[in-house]
């Protein structure tokens, strides 16, 4: 485990020399948003009718699924409650996302987040016992 951590630290240090301050700040903001620390407003817009279709506001992580041509929003609604929305994209429907308020990030250091529960999953075991 120590070897893996050491290798990851070396990789981060080597890559940090290749990035600009803007790159580091952008990556840190993206990680903060994916950790549900940043409020966002995501607006879906119809380019033909010039109307807003939907507005989602909150602490949301955004993932674009190009294969299915959809946007996946995962929003944190309470300390242990989440909602996931799937929104189809097309040639006339697009979206834009904005960060509602500024957030402080450190441009001198990358943010690395380890979550042991994602490495060692919580397993639900179901068996069928016949008597």
Q: What is the pLDDT of residues 75-85, one digit of tens each?
A: 999 999 999 99
Residue with tokens 């909150």: 58
Q: Calculate what percentage of the chain has a pLDDT beyond 70.
A: 71
CA pair distance 97, 70, nearest whole angstrom = 14
Give pTM, 2 decimals.
0.64
Those residues whose C-beta lies under 8 Å from the C-beta of residue 41, and which sit 6 or more positions away, are 55, 56, 57, 97, 98, 100
Q: What is the pLDDT of residues 8-28, one digit of tens each?
A: 666 665 555 566 777 877 888
Residue ranges per domain, the chain? 2-103
């Amino acid at each position: 485990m120590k070897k893996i951590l050491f290798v990851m630290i070396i990789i981060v240090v080597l890559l940090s020399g290749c990035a600009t301050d803007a790159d580091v700040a952008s990556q840190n903001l993206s990680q903060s948003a994916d950790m549900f620390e940043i409020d966002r407003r995501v607006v879906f817009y119809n380019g033909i009718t010039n109307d807003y279709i939907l507005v989602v506001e909150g602490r949301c992580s955004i993932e674009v699924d190009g294969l299915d041509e959809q946007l996946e929003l995962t929003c944190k609604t309470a300390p242990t409650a989440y909602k996931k929305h799937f929104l189809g994209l097309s040639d006339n429907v697009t979206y834009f996302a904005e960060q509602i308020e500024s957030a402080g990030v450190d441009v001198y250091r990358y943010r690395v987040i380890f979550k042991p529960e994602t490495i060692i999953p919580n397993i639900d075991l179901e068996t069928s016992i016949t008597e």
